[in-house]
Structure 1
Amino acid sequence: MLDPEATGLARELHPGTPLALAEGIVPVLVVRSTASGTARALSVLDSWPSHLPRPYLVVVADAVIGAPLPVRYRLRVLAPRTLGVVHVPYLYRLRVTDTPAEALEHRPVAKAAQALRAALGHAD
């Protein structure tokens, strides 16, 4: 959703990958709205290098219902340590499509992607 054309705007870093950013790049940490997802975000931010800019935290809903209490609590704790917390709603199409491009063909996904990019300061 952040890089639908695969231009390199967004890339996945696996655990243990050193964090290094080119000048002007704003980091984005993406987690599921689960207790384990927000616990991992807390762990990553606890070891966030002080020389890097604070990241945005993008929280992707994993269910139609609201986030559980531990998630809501951790997000309140994490918010001041980020540039902002952005919520992505639960989107069924993300679970049943093989590629981001295929998912973006569906209006709710395209609309959520546009809202996400706008929240992160990327104009379409």
Structure 2
Amino acid sequence: MGPSFKANETLEIYAIPHLSSGATERRLLTKGKFNNAFPSTNPDGTKLVFRSTRDGGDNKYKNLYIMDTEIGEDAGEAERITEGNWIDTHSQWSSNIEWIVFLSNRDKPTDAWERDHGLDPEGTLLFT
């Protein structure tokens, strides 16, 4: 919840349990006033991978993080899985849980902030 595509603004990830039953209860998963977005759960729904501006410095570079979906950041921390002055985003877990595929502009990191905010579609498909 929050403004889209504004790295300087807070964007949080919430869980909405039992959404298909019409439930409206929300549970905040991310904390810290960062821009967190594009979450993807592993096939059994226990882990969440997402991109975040935390640790991204003044340029708001985005890297990938993993967290437990049951506890979120209330009782734990998100684990950083990529690190650099670039934009890693749009991650997706493979069905066998062995891979996370994501887009990155790490081959052109010097102007990552400007390219991301211009919504430049160029990127490299990577696996981790």
TM range (shorter): under 0.3
TM-score w.r.t. the length of structure 1 is 0.28
Q: Higher helix proportion, which one? A: 1
Q: Higher strand proportion, which one? A: 2
